Chain A
Amino acid sequence: MIFMSAGIAAAAGILSLLCCRRGGLAGVAGVAGTFLSVIAGIVGICTSPPSGVSLLFMLPTLILAPAAAVHSVAYIKGHGNPGIYWGFFNLTVATMLALPLLKEDFLEFLIIWELMGVFSFVLVMFNYKAEELKRVAWIYLLACEAGGLLLMLFYALSFKTGAPRELFYIAGVAGFGLKAGFPLLHLWLPEAHPAAPAPVSAIMSGAMINLGLFGIVVFVFPGMDASLCGWTLLILGGISTLGGILFALPQDNLKRLLAYSSIENIGIISMALGCTFLGGAFKNNSMIVFGILGTILHIINHALLKGTLFLGAGQVYCSSGTLSIDRMGGMMKKTPVTGSCFTAAAVGLSGLPPFNGFIGELMIYLAAFSGICSGVWQLRIAGIAAALILSLTGACAVAAFAKAVGGTFLGEPRHVDDCKKESVWMYGPMLFLLFLSLLIVFSVPFTVPCIFKVLNVSTIDYASTGVQKILFCAASFSALFYVLSTLLLLFRRFVRVRGNENAAGPTWDCGYAKPSARMEYTGSALIQCLGDLFNSFLQIRRKIEPPQGLFPKKASFQWESPDGAERFFWAPVFTFFAGVSDKVHKFQSGYLHMYVLIMTIVIIAMVVWAIIS
């Protein structure tokens, strides 16, 4: 039954591909296809629930696909051929629904995995008219193909008895890590997301990246020593978390900032998984329970909140035409609902209490703390490292999202003058996703028993850790926050004496006569001192053109922070290969004599070798 959902999505995809001449029909077919497949998926889950892990990794797709479909109805108007878009949109959703169910046969999984890469590649390069999209599309396709080739090697090594186990392990982790955005392998994420249409990047970062972790957990780790797996995930997760959020700070493009924060969140999820495996290795029950819950909650929360943020970015792009935070500003007045949802999701994703982001992080913290208090020195170090990284990235995430929200939505509009109104198709799904996240905050304490029943892992007893009580208290205090703030609002409303009414006026900018929007603190200004703090890591490049002469005409300041991995690792590697190829090109020099000479030498060498051996 569940395969039906993938089947329906694929059929809808092909249908809308066929009628790509008539846009309208394709749109209807696309949206209908997505909704039908999601309904089939949910019905399938209720009738014959798949194993816990597959269910977990299907949930984000089931949640995000309809939201993104509704959003893209308005998003792709006038952006390109809707037939192709809906076709490949449904095909990608089909592959993402099918992948978690193919746990048994790795080869089937690999085929669908590479198909997912190709379909999402077409979506990424949807507005192919832009020149800089060539590089982005190339990088994205290379990442998918490299992952596929590594997994082919992984599959091949599983047959070779002589081959060393570490190579098998490295190939698997690297192959899946490419999709999961592990350090050094994350290069395609910050390139593909700004270029892809917003609903597509919502699905990709919400659901597709987790499949990388799914692959590692299901195919690479069985049979390997648990503590090795735990430590790999923890270290790789830690590096990609810190690296991700630090590189998110100086980004000027809104979706690029969100892409880096996806890298950070996938790092947090792999750290949670790492704690679970380490707990499993040292039989620390509370660490396993908190680790599992942390992973589940964080995957779902990240899918929901990151989906909202990307859809918000999509709406911002549609109404203001640009994604650069410094050029926007004051979007809250033009697109109030999107602004509020974006702010709420931003606060949630940086792990702050009233939203579900906090509950996920709380579980991971508790896993880390149970590691710290467990007495085994390995767990203790892992716990301290995990907790410290989580808190540092939490604070950096607060800064990054303050910049994103402050720069885009708050204050006065800087360069964007005519803004289109926000359409209900676009902010509807955002409200739906936010409602779901609030629902999770208050429903998780009651669903914990059935989560562990679905996972049906006998060795863990979750009751002893009192996790339900913890979740209940966390939820109740979030509710208390709402109650208290409404009380204070009412108190403020009534405490005022009748005579002193509220007045409106320009911002008191310390007596400035005529404050203009250009004097406002832009997003990059907000992050400038943080950028200096981490400059040794970020290596921010500044191009300053100071004003010269008595009457300076033109002065400019520009700064950009290219991706560290790309600048210091991938760029040199690719130029090395290009250098080698230029040298090798000399052999095809066009001289016939040279060719025949080489042929004779090689033939003589082969004959001599034949005679000797």
Chain B
Amino acid sequence: MSEEHEEHHTNYVKIWAILVVLLAISVAGPELEILWITLITAFGIAFVKAYIVVQKFMHLGDAPKFVTYVMVTCLVFMMLFIAGTASDIYKSNGENWYKIESEWQYMPPVAQHDEGHGAADEESH
């Protein structure tokens, strides 16, 4: 750790101040109600903040390289998960199938009454 000693003298308060400013921007930005500004300020800044915390507070850079690779791999697998599932979960229709509107229930009126008790119970919780 001795050679990294320099780095640990980082002015953490300054970094914190930067984070707070970024927070303010990310709250203020979406108030403009312009889509791309919302996206950039809300989510772009979240990534910037996360990067700052990971690098400056968690000192990911000081750990051996493989630690970073592991973290990135985890994120990549999550991307992979979204890539593999979006066609079913995000999309409401696809090749030869479509999702029924939530209200739609192919259920006869009387039977719906029977079945409805369970559902009604759940709604009232």
Q: Answer whether A and B are interacting partners.
A: no
Binding site for A on B (CB under 8 A): none
Binding site for B on A (CB under 8 A): none
